[in-house]
Amino acid sequence: MGYSCSSLTLNSFRGFVILSNLGQELGIDEFDRNTVKLAGLLHDIGHGPFSHMFEREFLPRVVDGCKWSHEDMSVKMIDYIVNKHYIEIDSAILKTAKEMILASSEHGPQKSMTEKRFLYDIVANGRTEIDVDKFDYIVRDSRACGIGSGFQFERLMETMRVMDDEICYRANDYLTLHKLFATRADLHRTVYTHPKVKAIELMVVDALCYANAELKIAASGQEPSEFWKLDDSILKKIETSDSDSLREARNLIQRIRKRDLYQYCNQFSVPKDKLENFKDITPQDIICSQKSGGVTLKEEDVAVSTVKIDLTHGRMNPLERINFFKDYDSSEKFQIPDDRISHLLPRFFQDRIVMVYAKKPELVEAVAEAFENYQVQTYGCKAQVHATPGKKRARKQL
């Protein structure tokens, strides 16, 4: 599964620190503390191999109408663990912790707690998207990748306040909160969707799809008793297998080991005025844009990745959903229009980036030209900023 024990423990610990900082005047008791710690510890145990890739890229390819979510699986895993190991735990704590885990999901359950609803916003916040999960991975990944981050979650944890059963923030912290969302978006652009990262991800997804019938990977994602066995080691299992039915999957993994990756050809950002009606571009769209040439492309020669990067609220400003207070003597909460803070803040909050790859190095030039043709046919111009590097195009002669 996708998260380390240390990461999950930090989520639990930071949730506990938030409860401590919010103060005893809110009536926070041992039940609340245990519930938030449990939700922080377990809310991501439902992630499959390679985290979101399993959920968002692999399963939709092999399961028609897939509605699988790691939050739902986290809840199933909790029930499985408790029942399998005869764990004695307060049923009310368990029920509320599971509700907290599902709080940010699209179809979260009705919350059983009628008071202290703000507790549901600590671990996985569906209301404002500010939660300890982001505090953890933004700091962790920025440090691990050597990227400086001006976001200071400690400042928010020390100054946040509950007003009308909602976690609110000092008006002075507006830019700190903007930095939270901006840093997250920057990580997506520079790390999570880096061209080589996406190349490997596309190859892993293809390998899992090839291996799915033999290893029943998607089926294992339905039952906790099988799902707990499913982790990143699935690639080693494929790689070391002698099964002829796993040959294509095995070849792809060996290519990854040798850094013989799908070749990045180019990318473009979808124009703002086209975003609302944008439909994902497919390999078929690319090959249909090919003009006559020495190579006739097939769908299996092309890989396309469309990535969405936003500040957590689509094309809207996520700070519009946050309430602020002036100072600790104030009893009024309010929202802040961003133009009252700075005219340097963005006016648009989402990118969709289309990245195209040739699955074989010798096809880079043909795929790159077809991709350029597609842009001209669709938008009347080349939307990409840079030309495909000449050295990549030249590889077909090697």
Q: Domain ranges for the chain, please list them.
A: 1-127, 262-311+349-398
- Contact yes or no for 122/132 (Cβ under 8 A): yes
* Catalytic-residue membership of 70: yes
Residue spans of beta strands (DSSP E) within 225-296: 263-269
Q: How many CB atoms are closer than 10 A to CB 397?
A: 7
Measured in whole angstroms, the distance separating CA 217 from the mean position of its chain's CA atoms is 21
CA distance 17 to 250: 46
Give the model's pLDDT for residue 78: 97
262-311+349-398: same fold as 1-127?
A: no
CA–CA separation, 301 and 282 (whole Å) = 12
pLDDT in tens, 126-182: 899 999 999 999 999 999 998 877 788 888 988 999 999 999 999 999 999 999 999
Burial of 229 (0-12, 13-18, 19+ CB in 10 A): exposed
pTM score over 0.75: yes
**Whole-number pLDDT of residue 396:** 52
pLDDT in tens, 81-101: 999 999 999 999 999 999 999
pLDDT, position 12: 64
- Stretches where the chain sits below pLDDT 70 are 1-10, 12-17, 20-24, 106-110, 394-398
Contact 123, 98 (CB under 8 A): no
From the candidates 52, 70, 178, 343, give the one annotated as an active-site residue: 70
CATH number of 1-127: 1.10.3210.10
Q: Which pair of tokens denotes residue 137?
A: 């991975």
Measuring CA to CA, which residue among 393, 322, 334 is closest to residue 358?
Answer: 393
12-15: long-range pairs with CB below 8 Å, 24+: 12/36, 12/37, 12/38, 12/40, 12/41, 13/37, 13/40, 14/40, 14/132, 14/135, 14/136, 14/153, 14/157, 15/39, 15/40, 15/122, 15/123, 15/132
274 contacts 381 by C-beta, under 8 angstroms: no
- The CA-based diameter of the chain, rounded to the nearest angstrom, is 75
The two three-digit tokens of residue 164, written as one number: 């009308």
CATH 3.30.70.2760 matches 262-311+349-398: yes
What is the token pair recorded at 204? 């892993």
For residue 292, give the DSSP letter: S
Say if residue 242 is exposed, middle or buried (CB neighbours under 10 Å; 0-12, 13-18, 19+).
exposed
pLDDT for residue 395? 62
Retrieve residue 142's tokens: 């920025």
pLDDT at position 2: 44
Give Rg (Cα) of the chain. Answer: 24
Asked whether the beta carbons of 45 and 8 are under 8 A apart, the reply is yes
- Position 14 scores a pLDDT of 67
What are the structure tokens assigned to 4, written together?
Answer: 């380390």
Within 10 angstroms of residue 289's Cβ, the number of other Cβ atoms is 18
